Structures are given as structure tokens and as C-alpha cells.
Structure 1
């Protein structure tokens, strides 16, 4: 059973609840329809392209050589690597990386028994790529060898990692499938790695070292995709690892469509998410584009995101026995007449409606009103409409007469003088309310319409709730999830009672991590927390005009959920039961949150 991070599940729920429609615009010209769509067995999807004006930029330009797409890396673009796969959904590409090696040749006539390949690794420093720390690992195989990996992160800080593989005793601890230091060493790579170089040291001399008969010392090391490596015992003492992989292994690069954050990118003509129903998703190095939930395709092309018809044959949009109705971005599952939905062990099914017997249904189908009854109902309805119209006109007349009386009373009792006095104090303008007006505005002084801690600060000045008021309240909900604290604490000092006020102060002082819940920080990645924290900050702006629209909030939450799902999988998160809780209608609206569609609606 696939486990999903609780923060990702929350993002999925937020997208289902908000369901916006998002469109993006850009002045960037689309690629020519004549651009090659395939090279060998690899689909070439924009922003990548082969040929002039076929890619988003030169950084995404490929060459098709002997049915193999090739990408140029390095500061001088002299490192040519084969592209194995392009994954637009997660902003990743898989490329081939050469295995580095060193071996001992005691029969070498030159007196230099150690031979080796190039130890210079790949360099993407000047390009919109970085090595994916989620997908890759550093691997060393061999006996009694130490390999250093040195390089630079995105922050240009130097790094140095060491991997050592040893062989002791009779070699019984060297086993297939185990890479824990005996004949094999593997380790994670740092976040944001942009370039690296390897340095071999061996053979190391140890007491009680083990080697098989006629053994010639050799070792291999490489930065590669973690899931493509499985250790075999013979890798430690032979060149089988190199031969099995033909000298190259896959490595995963993250790419960014632009170096800006989403908010800045949307304001530029070069904004890459040009399709309707596309979403901008922030990454550590900029942003990538996704199609919103219920849509699939290429968000980098105009009209590239198309509706997923989950009701089409073979898609299994609804359980057996239910009626599937597709609409743009989603679908409905309903039951035939005389049946109702029931949740059995997490599965929606249709069951007979016991409250309606078969004779009742037959009576409903066979009964027809006579013409005379239809005419009587029509006449009665017409009379009712006329009476309501007369009553409405009378009430409007009475309201206007009452307003005239109020204005006359206002003038007779010095109201004009008070009005002029208030206008003279524009810098300290205020409004006088009667007790009845205050009671009406607060629904009988009831706090349920604006719970303390969630209420938009602008409402205190305007007494009007807007769409941006909902955005503010949603920001407070995000804070509760991030901090594990209540929105209002009446026991503390005045300046610390409001959770949102404490959060805004912490953000200004660059110490927001101090108020985040420890469990949330331990379970979620720093990149995901940073994006959600910044989103909460935007939602809690004092001025409603500075807050994002609710559809933008949903777009960004949905994009984050999809980007941080494990790549290269097609998992489906079944949330039927939660969808029923989110919907007040008797019809269940279900959405598939999977790797073929993107966040939002």
C-alpha cells in the first residue's frame, strides 16, 4: 500500500474543496508544428525541442544523433549526454552518465600499474538543471577503495562526500542486494548539487583483507538513479557492473522553466505556463508548469491541457452499477432511480432505497394530472404572483417614505452640523452606529459569522465581507496546520494572543521556523514548508488587494501536492469518502488525484 505524506494529502483536499479554473497568458511564440516530436524511442516534448525555434530556449535544445536525443552540458557545452526520458509532470529528465573506474594492471610495461577512466563528472552550473537529490545516489563498488565526491551546490558552497568499500575475512558479508560498506557503498547526495568530480584512492591495505583467487583489483563509482541500482556480489571483484550497464547508467536532473518565483514569473512576457487550465509550481530554482486537476497534456503549449474523460470506456470513472457523467475537469457518480449511495469499507456502491417501495415507484410512473387540475394550478400560481408583486411595491413605497422621515428628522435636530463636522475631520474619519445597526450587523451579537482569530481585519473597518476575506480565513487555517496552535489564545500577553500576528512578526524577523510544529518540520521537506509558509503570508496580508485570489491559492496548493509526490509513478489517491464530506449535495463529485493530471480544477 502506497503511503502518502500527510501534508500532501492536505494539499489534495484543498484542491478538491476549492476547484478553480486557471488560465495563463504569454507573448512567447509557440514552436512550429513541423518540429520533430520523436527521436528514436524518446518523445520530445516542449519546452524541449530539436532544431531552431523548437525549444523554450537554447538550454532546452536537443540534437537527434543516430536516433538518440542528446543534450549539451558544461560551461562550454562540451559534455554531450544521451537523454533517456522527459517527464514534464514532475519537471525531470533522465540522462545517461558514464561509470568511472580504476583498476590495477601488474603486467603493465610502463611501470604504472593503476589505470583509470576520466573522473570528471557532469556540470550543469550555468544551466536550468540540478541533480535530483530525491532520485539519485552516489555508488561505489569494489574491495578496499575510498572514493571522494567533490563539487558545488546551487549556493556555490563546496561539498565533499566520502564513500568507502572494504572486503574482510572470507568475504561472507558481501551479499547480493546489500550495499552497506562490504564490497559496496552508497550514500545520498546534497540538495541542489550542480557539478561534481570523483577522486579514487586504493587499493587500501588492511589486515585480514579478503580477495578471491586470481583477483585483479578494480573499483567503480558513479552518481546514478537510485532505483536503477541493485548490488550483486560479483560487482565487488569483477567488472560485471560496468559490463552489465554498458558503461553508463541513468541519472535524474530537475529542470526549471524559469528562474523566477511564480508570482514574479506571471508578470513577465516570458511566462511559460501558457495553456488554459495550467498551473505554476514553485521549485528551489524557479518554477515548472503543470496541468490542473482533471486535465492532462502539455502546459507549456497553448491549448496543451485537455480534459480527461474519466467516463470513457476503459477508464473506470465510477464503481460498477453507478452512472458516470463527465464534465470539464471532473465527473459525477450517481445511482439509478430508486437507489442511493452507500459507503461500504471505503467503496461507494448503490443500494435499493428502502424508504420507497415498488408500488410507490409504479404509482409515480403511471400517475398523470388531469388537464383541469393543471389549469387550476396555473391560475392559482398566477394569482399568487400578482399578490406578491403588489405587496413588494407597497413595501418599497413604505421604505422610501420612512427614509424621507429620517432625513427630515436628521435636518431638524442638527444632523447637518454633525455631518459637516465629521467631513472636516477627514484624517480621523469615523462612523456612528445605533445599537440596532450593530445588532443587525453581528446577527444578534453572534460570533458564528466571524469567529475570532479567523475574521478579516478589513471587515473591522468596512463591515463588509469579500472573497478576499475568505482568503484571509484560509490563511489562518494554513497556520493552524503548520503550527499546531489555535488562532486565538486569550491567556497570553496582548501582543501574543493572535496566531496570525505572531506569525507575521516572526516572518518579519526571519524566524518563522521557531513557531512551526516540530512534527510538521520533521515530516515535510524544507522546500515544501517554505512554499506553504510563503502562501500563508500572502493570504494574511492586511490589505485584501494584496492577497491572492482563492483560485490562485488552490492552483498553488495543487501544484505543490503533485510536484512533491514521488516521481516516475502513476499512483492514484482515492479520496471518495472525503469528497462526500466536502460536498453538501446528494450527488458525489469525485476527482482522481493522480500523476496523469495536475492540481486545481
Structure 2
């Protein structure tokens, strides 16, 4: 005997028939995996390996999170490093180079920060075209405790921001005295780009030395994405290619390049799917009282609060009048 299975009311973030996750990472449309038709176009098609590891198409960087709402992809990128022994001979060196190539992706200038760790460390970050460059200098003469509460002001660590719109990054390190004056507690310098939300400076003590292979030190780096590098006016003019679905509209990211989509007020869901934005029933939102007074009534894209009998006004903010009092008397 077959028992009926209740239909799920959960809304899907992918196109019908497409896989929603790779390992533990959700892959919302316009991204897609397994089948190219599951992605909006080739730029959003991602590689889900046989080991259920999700990789960014460019550079094979592992992905830990995709935010359709914020328009971001978080990837893991190895830190650059430079090490010396106590006699000043270099024992290890690794520089990092990343390029996002063509497509609607760029390194987030609001989420990421370039950081260097070390007591004799000069770290440089540039782009491929060499139209941008910055140097971060970190010096110290005694051991510094790496603390999350203290700013990286140049003693043991330093930081610098990156400009918006960068599609490539290269970072490398150099040293002035080959760590010979601080070799008792610091033999290596590290440089990396990292998400400011997840970066913990306390995880980078001055005594750290590099690890190779799959356990090498990597940081979370945030990549922003847009649908197309067009203005909203240009996008809406081509209705067949316009990316925003019903009850959604075109919006601009902070980077000022290209456009994204967002659900209109009163709707929620995936704005890139045809019918992805669905009405919010504000009257049933758990833990919230939408009406200050009266009865809540949901309407498409909004809600109303009907005042009690004998009162008038907007129950969202409060009704006016004394209302009607019904007295029941018994014999």
C-alpha cells in the first residue's frame, strides 16, 4: 500500500529539473550545475566535481557560498608567503595570481581587504593590466600578539583596500632584512585578500609557517557578480534578454557596473526566475504583528489593517474612534 506524500511548499531557487546543491553549497539560478541549460549563460555555469566540490569556472577556486540576494560568490584562495631561515637564506616563496577573465564578475571592494602579516614584510597587490597597485608595509622589533580587537596599523600586520571593478589580482612579498633581526619569533611573511566579515587576525600568529597541499592556508574572498554589464534602461529595451522575472525590477550594485534583479516590495523569492518572486502574506509572518489595531488582510504585494467596527483610519498605525461595545445582560 502506497501512502500519499504531502507536496512541499518550499520554493525552489533553481530552474525546474535542475540540481539545487553541490555538496553543502546551494546553487541558486542564474547559476547552474550539471547541465548548461540550468544556468542563465556560460558565465554562470559552475563545475560540481565527482567529490561534490563546487568550483568557480575561472581558476578552479572552491566555492563555499553563493548569495543571490547580495550578488556575491565566496571562494577560497591561497595566501602568498615568503620565508627565510635565521641566516637570511630564503627557504620558501609563493606568490598569488587570480584573473576572472571575461564575464560579469569582479572582486568586491566593499567586502575584501588586502592584508599582510610579518615583522619584515612588504606586500604588493596589483592588477593584470598594471593600472592599479598598492603596497602594505608591516614591521616590528618584538613579538606582537595578533588580536582581532586591534587594527592592523603596520606593527605585525597592515591592511589596504582595493578599488572597485577589479577583475584580476596579483600579490607578492619582499623583505628588507630577510627576517634576520626577528628570526627568533618571525621567519615568514604572508599576504592575502580576505573577506572582512570572516577574517580573524588572531588566526595568523607571527610564528606561523606555510603548509602545502590541500591543507594550505586559504582565505575567503568575495567576488561580486551582475547579470550583464548594461544599464537598466538598456536591459529593459531588450525584453527577450531581460533577466528580471515577474514582480521584480532592475537594480544597480555598489560597484556601479552592470545590473542585478531584486523582488519588488511585498514579494520574496528568486527574482531571476520567471515566477520566482511570490507575494508575502504579511498577516502570517511568524513573530511579527503587522497591525497595531484591527484585523490584518493580505493583498497582493501589501496588506491592510481593517479597523474594528465603529472606528476608522489605518490599523497599521492605529484607529480613531471609540468603537462599539456590546453589552449582554442576563435575567
Q: Could you say which TM-score interval applies, normalised by the shorter chain? A: 0.7 to 0.9
1:201 to 161, 174, 192: 174
Q: Find the counterpart in structure 2 of residue 160 from structure 1.
A: 133
Which structure has the highest strand share of the two? 2
1:257 to 219, 223, 227: 227
Show the 5 A alignment for 1:129-168: 129-152=105-128, 158-168=131-141
Residues 1:68 and 2:53 are matched in the alignment: yes
1:107-162 deviation line (CA, Å, top 9, x unaligned): 9xxx9633112x1321113221011111111011111100111115xxx6711100
Judge conservation of contact 1:184–1:236 (CA < 8 Å) in 2. no
Residues 1:81 and 2:54 are matched in the alignment: no
Residues 1:103 and 2:76 are matched in the alignment: no
Shift of 1:185: 0.8
Which structure has the highest helix share of the two? 1
Q: Find the counterpart in structure 1 of residue 5 from structure 2.
A: none
Cα distance in 2 for partners of 1:289, 1:303 equals 13
Moved over 6 A (4+): 240-243, 340-343
C-alpha distance 42-172 of structure 1, shift in aligned 2 (>3 A): closer
1:371-398 deviation line (CA, Å, top 9, x unaligned): xxxxxxxxxxxxxxxxxxxxxxxxxxxx
1:477-505 deviation line (CA, Å, top 9, x unaligned): xxxxxxxxxxxxxxxxxxxxxxxxxxxxx
Secondary structure in structure 1 of the residue aligned to 2:249: strand
C-alpha distance 291-328 of structure 1, shift in aligned 2 (>3 A): same
1:436-483 deviation line (CA, Å, top 9, x unaligned): xxxxxxxxxxxxxxxxxxxxxxxxxxxxxxxxxxxxxxxxxxxxxxxx
C-alpha distance 175-224 of structure 1, shift in aligned 2 (>3 A): closer
C-alpha distance 175-260 of structure 1, shift in aligned 2 (>3 A): closer
Cα distance in 2 for partners of 1:290, 1:313 equals 20
Shift of 1:340: 6.6
Q: Find the counterpart in structure 2 of residue 113 from structure 1.
A: 90
Secondary structure in structure 1 of the residue aligned to 2:60: strand
Judge conservation of contact 2:250–2:260 (CA < 8 Å) in 1. yes
Judge conservation of contact 2:84–2:179 (CA < 8 Å) in 1. no
Shift of 1:63: 1.2
Secondary structure in structure 2 of the residue aligned to 1:235: coil
Cα distance in 2 for partners of 1:234, 1:80 equals 25
Residues 1:279 and 2:249 are matched in the alignment: yes
Consecutive unaligned residues in structure 2, runs of 5 or more: 1-13
Residues 1:90 and 2:70 are matched in the alignment: yes
1:327 to 296, 299, 314: 299
Residues 1:318 and 2:280 are matched in the alignment: no
Q: Find the counterpart in structure 1 of residue 273 from structure 2.
A: 301
Secondary structure in structure 1 of the residue aligned to 2:127: strand
C-alpha distance 333-239 of structure 1, shift in aligned 2 (>3 A): farther
Judge conservation of contact 1:279–1:290 (CA < 8 Å) in 2. yes
Which structure has the greater CA radius of gyration? Answer: 1
Show the 5 A alignment for 1:445-594: none
C-alpha distance 56-124 of structure 1, shift in aligned 2 (>3 A): same
Judge conservation of contact 2:114–2:193 (CA < 8 Å) in 1. yes
Cα distance in 1 for partners of 2:96, 2:216 equals 19
RMSD of aligned alpha carbons: 3.3
Shift of 1:348: 4.4
C-alpha distance 252-186 of structure 1, shift in aligned 2 (>3 A): same
Shift of 1:39: 0.9
C-alpha distance 319-103 of structure 1, shift in aligned 2 (>3 A): farther
2:165 to 181, 188, 192: 192
C-alpha distance 216-165 of structure 1, shift in aligned 2 (>3 A): closer
Secondary structure in structure 2 of the residue aligned to 1:53: helix
Q: Find the counterpart in structure 1 of residue 4 from structure 2.
A: none
Cα distance in 2 for partners of 1:263, 1:35 equals 31
- Normalising by structure 2, report the TM-score: 0.81
Q: Find the counterpart in structure 1 of residue 102 from structure 2.
A: 126
Question: Which structure is richer in relative contact order (CA contacts within 8 A, separation 6 or more)?
Answer: 1
Shift of 1:48: 0.4
- Say how many residue pairs are matched: 308
Residues 1:56 and 2:40 are matched in the alignment: yes
Judge conservation of contact 1:164–1:181 (CA < 8 Å) in 2. yes
C-alpha distance 144-241 of structure 1, shift in aligned 2 (>3 A): farther
